[in-house]
Each structure stands twice: as C-alpha cells, then as structure tokens.
Amino acid sequence: MSDFANAIAKPEFAFKGLCPDLVAGEAARRKDGKLWCMPGGYAYVFKYKTFLPDKFWAIKCFSKLPPNLAIHYQTVSTYLTQSAVAHYFVFFKFIEKGIRTTDGKQHPILKMEWVNGANLKTYIRKNISDSTKLKKVAELFFKMCQELATHKVGHGDYHHENIFVVEEKGKISLKLIDYDSFYVADWKKDLDEVTQGYDGFQHPLRAIQVTKRCLQVDYFSQLVIYLSILAFAEDKSLWHKQRIDDRDGLLFTVNDFREPDKSAIITALSGYIGEISRVTDILKSVCTIQDIYQISPLENMLVSSGAEPMFSSLTNVSESALYAKALEPPFTLHPRFCAALNISSGRGLDISNKKCAFLSEGGSSVLLLGKIAGAACEVVIWTLNIKAAPSDVFTLENFRAFSLAKV
C-alpha cells in the first residue's frame, strides 16, 4: 500500500502523462491526517478529489492484476451503458497504465464515481432505531434483487461494504460497488471465480463446488442480507446482543450456515413472529442443500416456501388508478393483512386508498389481476397461477403496490 500511498499523495508525478484529468487534484485524508484508503484482496481504494470538475472519485490501485481484468471491465462497462439495471451501479473507467509509483513503474487503476452514501452496515448502525427506514432499505434491496435476477446479472461478492445506501432529498436508493466478479449469464462465458466472498455471506458449498462465476452464489448472499435487514428493522437490540460492531460482517457467520440447527442466531430468529421466522426457515433449508446450483433467486425462494415478500418489485403507481378484477369468489384475505386494512372479503370489495391485500385460494399465493390505467402491459400483484375466470371489477386509487410484476 505504501507505494501507492506515496504516489497518490503526489498527483503531478503519479498521473502526469497517464491520467491527465487526475493531475489537478488531491488525495482525501481522514480526520487523523492519514490518506483515506480501503485495502482489499489485491487492490487498494483511495478517495480522491479533482478540482475540475469539483468531484470526488474512488481510485482503485491494483497490486496484483487478475487475468483478463482489463477485458472484463471493458465488457462490463459496455454492458452497463445499455442495461436496464445500470442505475444500481456507478460510472467507472479502467486505465491499464493509470498511476506511476515512486520507483517509476506504471500500474492499472480503476477510476470510479464516489458514492455519497454509507455502506450497508454503517447505514444500519446509524438508523438502528428507525424501523421505517430499515424496512425501506429491505424493500429496495428486495426490488434490486428481483431486477438483477430478471436480467440474469450477478455481482459475485455481496457483503455489507459493497452495498451503499444513498439518501438524497429525502429519497433512498442503493448502489453496488466492486465489479471484479461481475457476471451476466447471457454472456454464455465460463468465467473463473476471482473471489470466494465474505464468509458471513456465502454458502459453505461455494468454496467447494464453484470454480466458475454463477448467479447462485448471489442468491444465497441476497437471502442472508435481506433477512439481516428485516431482523434489525424488527429488533434493534440484535445489534448490541450480537456485538455487530465487534465483528467483520452483519448478523451471521459461516458457522451459522454450516450447522444451522446449532446456530444460536438462527434459532433465535426462528422464534420471531411472521416474516422473519418464515425467511429464517428458508435460510435453514438452503444451508443444507447438497448442490449450490439448485439455489433459486430470492423471490422464487420466498414464493415456493409460501413466505410473501411485502415489497414492490416494479414501480410506485401512486396517483394512478389500477382497475383490477378479483378472483372468482370464494376467496379469503391473507390474515396478516386483514386487521391492517380493516376490510373483509366478498363481492364488491373496495380497498380504495389502501395497500393491496394478499388473497388466497386453494392454497396458492395470489393477489389481484389487473391493468394500470394508460399502461400497455398487464400486471399481476404477486405470482398468479390460478386460471379461473376473474370477475368483480373494482378500483384502487392512490395506490402503492407491494409487488408488481409484468405478465
């Protein structure tokens, strides 16, 4: 690290003739006067400010260059310029000869936009008493996982430091950083693994069975993170009880995944009421599978288990009318929502200005089949598997869907 630190502290020497837009700038420092630096497996990330434009950047300097990394980053960059999920990532540029160290050697760098937010662990710590905010983060995380799964996009290294929560003008959004192990299934390439990830977020079989990049490693990590956020939102005392500040991770360790039946935290979460208990049961089940490639996307795991995610997967349709048809009666409202909505089932059901209710018929998890006014596509709220002819039209206005998905 010292070679890169000494170099970046002298930008005119480090970047002249290599990366001209970084010459007029300076490395950021912490309160103690030391350079802001985050070490990684084979790289160091420095916070850097340019004067023109007046902007912060993350400069990733590689002490060891994995094979084909330059080609990989060019491929990722090209993909993200035309991808529907690009908003979850930050602008970056790989420069093969980007920085000069004091010994005169030239090294590759990755120049990335600085994310003005907090990593997931820091954000949860700061907002541990704000259940509403944490549930919003869980909602956004669930939605992001759905969208990435739909487009078959893998990150490969989910953990608390690679997920950033950004708050701007009262709006919360998520960003992913670190794209060394980025993967798109449609590339149809056998790309070697470049990391085995943080232990507290990885299935134990990853290190044993996975040699090529795949989406399944993400699905497990996403489940772990989703459950962790929900648990902290529900019970803030977990932060201190589990001594989260003293560990390198969030709520779980690899030993919890190796022996879930002996895990104190998994046993504790199984005793919670409602969503947390159901998702914990899913985690226990997935931990015991014998083939990591059998792990399903987060949404599929929740659906197949009967646990209903509570969040929107497509859009907020506030101030639009959703003209929907109820399933042919008889049907019943999911009891978890009856009290909250203060409505009853039956013909002529009217839940205007209310959040949608989960319906159940024949044991299948379903909701409402409908169409957004002015929109071309039909939508379902949840996964609709029942083919009975719908009837009984009613209207929902100023409506925010928990789970909208294209048919």
pLDDT in tens, 159-197: 999 999 999 988 999 999 999 899 999 887 888 887 878
Q: Which two tokens stand for residue 222?
A: 């996403």
Q: What is the DSSP letter of 311?
A: S
What is this structure's pTM? 0.73
The predicted pLDDT at position 307 comes to 54
Q: Phi and psi dihedrals of 22, rounded to 5?
A: -100, -5
Strand extents, DSSP E, 35-162: 37-39, 43-50, 55-62, 92-100, 106-113, 118-119, 153-154
Using DSSP's 3-state secondary structure scheme, residue 105 falls into: coil
Backbone torsions φ then ψ of 191, nearest 5 degrees: -100, 130
Report the residue count for the chain: 407
The pLDDT value given to residue 304: 67
Report pLDDT digits (tens) over 339-359: 333 323 332 333 333 333 333
The chain-wide mean pLDDT, for the chain, equals 78
- Write out residues in the chain with pLDDT < 70, as ranges: 304-407
Q: Residue 381: name the closest of 332, 314, 334 by CA.
A: 314
Measured CA to CA, the distance from residue 203 to residue 221 in angstroms comes to 8
Q: How far is CA 221 from CA 102, 150, 202, 203, in A?
A: 40, 17, 6, 8
Residue 75: C-alpha distances to residues 26, 71, 164 (Å): 30, 6, 23
> What pLDDT score does 305 carry?
61
CB-CB contact of 115 with 166 (8 Å): yes
